[in-house]
Structure 1
Amino acid sequence: MPSLRTFRVEFDRPGATFTPGELVTGNVIVDLAREKSIRALKLSIKGEANVSWERTRSTKDSQGRRHTQVDHFRASEQYFNLTYYLFGNTTDNREVRMPEGFHKYPFNFSLPYNIPCSFEHANGHIRYTAKAVIDRPWRFDHECKIAFTVVSSYDLNAHIQQCLGVDDEANESFCCFCCFDMGSIKTRIRIPTMGFVPGQSIETIVNLNNTSSIDVTKICVKLERSLEFHAKTPYKTTKTDKAVGKAEQSMGPFDPNAEVVTRLQVPPIPPSQLEYCSIIDQKYTLRITIHVSGMHCSITKTYPILIGTIPLRSIISVPYTQTVLQPTAPIMQYDDDPPPPMPTSPDYAPPNLPYPGPQPIGFVSANQPSTSANQWDIPPPSYEECMQRADSIKDQDESNYVHGANEPFAPRYPVFNFPTPYPPGK
């Protein structure tokens, strides 16, 4: 019968979602059926970004024969890598006896303040993990691993000029066989603001002035995400990826002078501009397409938008702060000052600085306030899983026997519960 009945890492905060600079607390749970001889129980906390993809190309050898070659592109950067000893140590190679029974080994550590937001994609990720190891002499170690979410603050109010609304026009003339005039469609597109947070609805107003014999069949609004992954090995190159995050459509045909209002709710997605990450870039675009009947081309307009974690002040109102639902994300509270960060291992090295910023990466003191979206009496958001998830959190150098490493993981992003300003469909 195995002596190890339970071995896992637990965070004190449900959902395990944190902001840079926060103090993270939890426990390593160990349940032994009998006493075990070990060198140490240690906990490693790591934050890193990785990108990787493959590209197939055809080559010719000296005899003119064709071969298929696969290039593996990749890059990585590390934000911190810390090791804490919770029981025993490996410095003097001595063994200690871990008693039988159920045990909780508490831990706490402070996150650096200038680290990027958690992010998952098939071609790259920004990931934060905690791995506990029972170091056993002359035997395979026991290992378990868990991922947690870091949500960096992206305040839309600091980018107010990029959030200004849109009042745009588009005109399209139609003809048959390049000579017969079939009239034109004039459209006016209005978007009150271009800065949003998850949970907020993107409202688009399309006014039609259709003097043609062509019908407008539907109007589609799409939230699109554009990604760039920057590899450094075997040489510098960039891979782009575009995808639709969410779409809404209004079906026609419409009256010649119709006003069509579409509301697209922003899903749980990471904020624009993955700050402090130099190998992954992210942007969002709103695409509005006016489809017409027949073989005629649609009318398409695209506009850059910002997704943040702190909403614009202009949308915060007293009724909102009073009627919003209770958040599902708990707020850490302490009766006294929180405990100081745990001492690091003897082989601890300072975190790398992957992003050229105004201040070096570092750790906050235990009593320094953490970054918070709860400003101006904004009710705290709930945290919901992103649609994009990792197949697993297993690293390439890890075995298949790391408990939890093969579990899928989806980051959790803040979602605000805004009241619906209009009845559905109005």
Structure 2
Amino acid sequence: MSATCEIDFENNPRKIVYAGKLLRGTVRLNLTKNTIVRSVYIRIKGKAFAAWDSDDVEVKEEYFNEKMYFIGSRGSAGKIRLKAGKYKFTFEFILPSNVPSSIEGKIGQIKYTVRVVLDMPLWMNKVFKEPFILMKALNLNDLPSLRQPLIGEKTKDVDCFGLFSPKTITITARAPVGGFLPRQTVNLEIHVHSQSSVAVSKFSAELIQLISYSVEYKSCGFKTKYNEEEEKTLFLMTIDGCSGNEEKIVHLDVAIPPTPPTEILMSKAIKVTYLIRITALTLGLYKNLTLDLPITIGSYPFQY
């Protein structure tokens, strides 16, 4: 059988939709020859999947799985002859509001798809698939604590391998609030106080997306919990450092790219959080000083 199919979302070429909203579109099916089917339907599906090959562990979650029939019906056993030609169908689904955003990681993913299926009586079904991005809305106004300034501090001892009394480098970082939107900039103020002769060659700020995976399973009759965490750097900026025994204030601006909002509630298996990692790169054999500031990325801005 030779057939082609186009699945278009109404006024939505980027195929980005929000949880709880209406998804509407058009299916254009082109059959180049007469075709026998039991039915033709569209299926919309949302699921999470993660797997660890080395440990033979996997986790699955299904959020919804809905069908809409264009030709025929559920459980239809009869044969329907479709003439060669072009067919046009429309569809609409109201998406659930209590589902997580799409995410793509190395270990797992949360994925949403629309599939058009030709249910064939004698052959394998012909399936046409179109993925779309679902975004779960997060209103920053629902989390009033995020309006407060975000402050973090970290101190590192530099003791010259124990030959002298310990000296320290302290960095204190401050952001105006704890919640932001994609395409906003986080203006960081970093106060550096070095009581050591060890210089800092550079300061860097990374925006990191943390994807956390969790699954509980039984092994030899016992419950075992498996956790894994994946880091993805979304933005990186570096500036000059400071000399030893110096106190100064530096500024770093972290740009937030388009990215899904923070998500820790809707999926038991996969959670998405964000942090800004500030690093003071020290010279010589000393370990770098790092400070992590957790931030929340939302969908709706603060109202003042």
TM-score range, shorter chain: 0.7 to 0.9
- Residue 94 of structure 1 and its aligned partner are, at CA, apart by 2.0
- Residue 41 of structure 1 and its aligned partner are, at CA, apart by 0.9
Q: What secondary structure does 1:193 align onto?
A: coil
Contact 2:198 2:243 in 1 (8 A): no
Distance (Å, rounded) in 2 between the aligned partners of 1:229 and 1:262: 31
In structure 2, the residue matched to 1:268 is: 258
1:20 and 1:209, CA in 2 relative to 1: closer, same or farther beyond 3 A? closer
Distance (Å, rounded) in 2 between the aligned partners of 1:202 and 1:262: 8
The answer to whether 1:251 aligns with 2:240 is yes
| The one of 284, 293, 302 aligned to 2:292 | 302
Aligned-pair Cα RMSD in Å: 2.5
Distance (Å, rounded) in 2 between the aligned partners of 1:176 and 1:293: 12
In structure 2, the residue matched to 1:287 is: 277
Q: What secondary structure does 1:296 align onto?
A: coil
In structure 1, the residue matched to 2:9 is: 11
In structure 2, the residue matched to 1:133 is: 117
Q: What secondary structure does 2:262 align onto?
A: coil
Letter in 2 for 1:9: I
In structure 2, the residue matched to 1:231 is: 215
The share of aligned pairs that are identical, in percent, is 26
Distance (Å, rounded) in 2 between the aligned partners of 1:113 and 1:183: 53
The answer to whether 1:150 aligns with 2:134 is yes
Higher relative contact order (CA 8 A, sep 6+): 1
1:274 and 1:103, CA in 2 relative to 1: closer, same or farther beyond 3 A? farther
In structure 2, the residue matched to 1:382 is: none
Distance (Å, rounded) in 1 between the aligned partners of 2:76 and 2:288: 73
Distance (Å, rounded) in 1 between the aligned partners of 2:280 and 2:300: 32
- Residue 174 of structure 1 and its aligned partner are, at CA, apart by 4.0
1:289 and 1:90, CA in 2 relative to 1: closer, same or farther beyond 3 A? closer
The answer to whether 1:164 aligns with 2:148 is yes
- Measured against aligned partners, the alpha-carbon deviations of 1:354-388 in whole angstroms (never above 9, x if no partner) come to xxxxxxxxxxxxxxxxxxxxxxxxxxxxxxxxxxx
- Residue 303 of structure 1 and its aligned partner are, at CA, apart by 2.1
In structure 2, the residue matched to 1:34 is: 33
- Measured against aligned partners, the alpha-carbon deviations of 1:161-200 in whole angstroms (never above 9, x if no partner) come to 1452234555556444534469654544222122112211
Distance (Å, rounded) in 1 between the aligned partners of 2:152 and 2:51: 40
Contact 2:276 2:294 in 1 (8 A): yes
Distance (Å, rounded) in 2 between the aligned partners of 1:20 and 1:284: 21
1:158 and 1:293, CA in 2 relative to 1: closer, same or farther beyond 3 A? same
- Residue 211 of structure 1 and its aligned partner are, at CA, apart by 5.1
1:239 and 1:171, CA in 2 relative to 1: closer, same or farther beyond 3 A? closer
Contact 1:222 1:244 in 2 (8 A): no
1:244 and 1:33, CA in 2 relative to 1: closer, same or farther beyond 3 A? closer
Distance (Å, rounded) in 2 between the aligned partners of 1:300 and 1:189: 11
Distance (Å, rounded) in 1 between the aligned partners of 2:161 and 2:38: 84
Contact 2:152 2:291 in 1 (8 A): no
1:76 and 1:163, CA in 2 relative to 1: closer, same or farther beyond 3 A? farther
Contact 1:224 1:242 in 2 (8 A): no
Distance (Å, rounded) in 1 between the aligned partners of 2:158 and 2:77: 82
Contact 1:221 1:247 in 2 (8 A): yes
Structure 2: gaps spanning 5 or more residues: none
Contact 2:152 2:293 in 1 (8 A): no
In structure 1, the residue matched to 2:48 is: 49
TM-score w.r.t. length of structure 1 = 0.63
Across the two proteins, how many residue pairs are aligned to each other? 297
Q: What secondary structure does 2:285 align onto?
A: coil
1:111 and 1:182, CA in 2 relative to 1: closer, same or farther beyond 3 A? closer
| The one of 221, 229, 245 aligned to 1:241 | 229
In structure 1, the residue matched to 2:101 is: 117
